[in-house]
Structure 1
């Protein structure tokens, strides 16, 4: 008999987030070297940089999948913790604001900056093929 986990029936904590897009040279390099359908490109593109306070609000950790939804669409991306040491956007904290590289994942949510709801997810990170339905 399989074990029943109570967390399967509870809604994940949710918070409002303002999403700002940015251009990333490493993401561009991955697209040119490996192609936009590559794992290397997805690993650099299907992410959102979050303040540690926002990760805590949704009970998520660095690297966890998070679902981001608004009236334009829904994506699942990897949460990345901004720590201020290697991310200049995080030097003074940015609670309530998430940074996403300009990509198919951020474009699904509309023109930036956009407001969205965010929660930890049990789903896998959305692939580019799923998003563009290839």
Structure 2
């Protein structure tokens, strides 16, 4: 039994085949038929419009002062959408627009954009409960 294993694992013949040349000048083949490139300008504009509208709608659900908050949310959500779209991939845009699905990449971009857009904005004042 061990003789079979030893002969199966070892190769006494030297490798006479020519080494394969690397294909440095050829374009990489994309096997999954998805263009991983950046989204077109028309897709980006549609994304910004849809994302900002969905963002404002989501934020307005919890708003108490809808008249004042709508303007603030529209500005903030527009800023976030513009920052996300700067390097938006076609795949992420299609999943959001067509499938109504948030990808992990979009979530990461949203967090970064929200931090950028909201870090210097004055936050609404909470109730003043004590004498300070």
Q: Settle same-fold status: TM greater than 0.5.
A: no
TM-score by length of structure 2 reads 0.23
Query: Counting helix residues as a fraction of each chain, which structure ranks higher?
Result: 2
Structure having greater relative contact order (Cα 8 Å, sep ≥ 6): 1
TM-score by length of structure 1 reads 0.23
Query: Counting strand residues as a fraction of each chain, which structure ranks higher?
Result: 1
Q: Which has the larger radius of gyration?
A: 2
